[in-house]
Amino acid sequence: MALDTSKIAVKKLDRMMAEIELARLAEEIAEHDKLYHQEDAPRISDADYDALRRRNGEIEARFPDLAREDSPTRKVGAAPAGRFAKVRHAKPMLSLDNAFEPDDVEGFFQRVRRFLDLPADTPVEIVAEPKIDGLSISLRYEKGRFVQGATRGDGVEGEDVTPNLRTLKDIPERLKGEAPDVIDIRGEIYMLRADFLALNEARVKADEPLFANPRNSAAGSLRQINPAVTASRPLRFFAYTMGEASGPVGKTHWEFLQTLKGWGFHVNPKAKRCASPEEALAFYNAIGAERASLPYDIDGVVYKVNRFDWQDQLGMVSRAPRWAIAHKFPAEQAQTVLNDIGISVGRTGVLTPFAILEPITVGGVVVSRATLHNEDEVARKDFRVGDSVIIQRAGDVIPQVVAVVMDKRPTDKKAPPRFVMADVLAKGHKHPACPVCGSLAVREAGEAVWRCTGVLVCPAQRLARLSHFVSRLAFNIDGLGEERLQLFLDKGAIKTAADIFTLRARDGVDAEPLATWEGWGPQSAQNLFNAIEARRKVPFERFIYAVGIYQVGEATAKWLARHYGDLPTWRQAMAQAIIDRDKAPDEKKPEKIGGEFANLCAITGIGIKMADDIIDFFREENNQAALDALIEAGVEIEPVEIIQPPADSPVAGKTVVFTGTLQTLTRQAAEAQAEKLGAKVAGSVSKKTGYVVVGADAGSKADKAKSLGVAILTEDEWLKLIGEA
């Protein structure tokens, strides 16, 4: 039996084990390079790939004489595929070494100083740029004219994709102004998230396989044999560096970025000069906090020494320059087991497969269930019961299953069978049926989802709508859980959300009083009436979340509330947004639609598809009538003050966690105060947390903050920090 060295810690490897492990790593990393760079179909997460490379580097550091000719440290990417002509780069397209912790960034600055023999107090200015998660490209210009474009490939040779690149509007055919006779402009091909979602929606309608993410979508779109296919895809380009240049382009990288803009290229507007590790880390934290709201995917920040003469002196080592480093964001992914696949019935009757997982912590939250989206997604990623799978969670995004760990799936007869939704739905029935009411379940042509046809009879839809309405993040009505709601539905006492608030007024009028029902009495009935009365007044953002608009979750509801302030203003704006949208029903760019619809799309987290879903809610007269009924039933909606965080806020962009009992503020008031100052309030502690504010009887969160080195503040220290002491 061959020795398995993959689980042995690096410090415990002897020479023989190290040699075996380096051979294994070289083979495995080469395979993943091929999947990523040639086939645009990565099998593992970026974090897992980085861990493999890091392990390889640590082993080579212990046993330098065992470094292989095919070592991953000596290669960049993968050899170009055979579909395109090969292009040899005049100057290699290097990869970057990675930083994962603040100490790694400090170490980068120290290495630069040591190599350049600079005094300890000499500032080392760097340029920090968001690391776009896309496809690296080199563009060759001669006499100012674009003549050739190539992928990175293995860093030495790439693929000639010139005709495809000519279809991109972001790539100028001719440079504006003066430029060297020969220059290679390098940057990243990427796709906006909104464009990616729209592309996948179109692929669903065309019965084509979905792209996994914007990076794969961009790479697959560019590497098309037919340039017309590339031209039909919404690809973008950010320029950020150069390769060969026959003449000078400035003295610093920052100056070169300005030159690139003058030539007609798009340069990432978030780039910033930083004079110290502290400034660099502040930029990293700020862009990390903004990451979810950016229109494109990033996976870290790149730091580059600004002075070109220093870059020349620093040179490169192995496959990476000494003058640059990539500070990667921590991955919020984990591996667990898919124990079963269930089917839920949503508020609109959509039947959705979901993963029942072996519980695991991801991004500070224990995840035991995750969405599988639809039947096509299950088939495309080939999820099967019993598989080991990778799951991920980012921000307040619903946990999702990303991929199967194929190496752990049996290849013999023990391999689990494929999931077929129609077969699962048909169990115990003559036809595919809703698992709740037994009504016929159908999948219409051109749709990606199955739906229950029992709209008027399916208890799941009505119950789910009302359960959502009274849930903790919505109206938060105590004592009105699913069991009691089902009872009221069965007895006909409640049919709509507005009926909840007229329950007391109608009690005993046309039916037996609640106090006489089995299991109820005068006190329990009064307690429920009091609980409903206590929640008759509700903050605007909770009201928005409660009405159950498709795609509008807690975070989006808050942003909508903060933008519009109150319900009448929102309804009036949506009425105008409908008019604006109807003037251009097929337009995909909000700025071309204009008006209130464009204003809606400009709100954080809202793209054109979600905006369409929001105004579709207001198009429906029954929904408008339901809103009126709630107001007539006595629901009071508290307006939200529209406040912009002060520019000098000391906690803007910071993640804050409150724990324990506060003395001068309620938890809710403290969190609201922090959000007004531009902070993000979280419920769990992680390395990204900026401050943990502890009150009396603070427990495990304070302990975790100590173990992670997160700043811990008393209530008085917090108030002093924000200027309220």
Q: What angle do CA 338, 343, 348 make, to 5 degrees?
A: 140
Helix (H, G, I), strand (E, B) or coil at 184: strand
H helices present in 264-343, as ranges:
277-290, 308-314
Three-state DSSP class for residue 408: helix
Angle at which helices 608-619 and 567-583 cross, to 10°: 110
Q: What angle do CA 38, 43, 46 make, to 5 degrees?
A: 90
Contact 643, 231 (CB under 8 A): no
State the chain's maximal CA–CA distance in angstroms: 92
Residue 300: its H or E element: strand 298-305
Q: Which of 131, 272, 654, 701 is catalytic?
A: 131
What is the distance, to the nearest Å, from the Cα of residue 629 to the centroid of all Cα atoms in its chain?
A: 37
Structure tokens at 290: 């903004």
Angle, CA 599 vertex, CA 594 and CA 604 arms, to 5°: 135
3-state helix, strand, coil in the chain (%, to 5): 40, 20, 40
Give whole-number Cα distances, 578 to 119, 327, 411, 428, 575, in Å. 63, 44, 54, 45, 5
| CA atoms of 577 and 598, how far apart (whole Å) | 8
Q: Is 186 helix (H, G, I), strand (E, B) or coil?
A: strand
For 403, the 3-state DSSP assignment is: strand
Q: How far apart are CA 49 and CA 29, in angstroms?
A: 8
Q: Which residue has the tokens 């970025």?
A: 257
- DSSP type of residue 37: I
Amino acid, res. 114: R
Whole-number Å distance between alpha carbons of 290 and 298: 10
Q: Which of 664, 640, 660 is nearest to 720 (CA)?
A: 664
What sign does the CA torsion over 131, 210, 348, 623 have?
Answer: positive
Is 680 an active-site residue? no
DSSP string, 444-485: -TT-SSEEES-TTT-HHHHHHHHHHHTSTTTT--TT--HHHH
Give, in degrees to the nearest 5, the angle at Cα 309 between 306 and 311.
Answer: 60
Half-sphere exposure of 538 (CA within 13 A, CB side): 29
Structural contact between residues 187 and 265, judged by C-beta atoms closer than 8 angstroms: yes
Contact 362, 333 (CB under 8 A): yes
HSE value, Cβ hemisphere, 13 Å, CA-based, for 556: 20
Q: Report the C-alpha gap between 271 and 255 in whole angstroms.
A: 12
Identity at 93, one-letter amino acid code: M
Length of the chain, in residues? 725
The amino acid occupying position 296 is: Y
**Looking at the annotation, which residues are catalytic?**
131
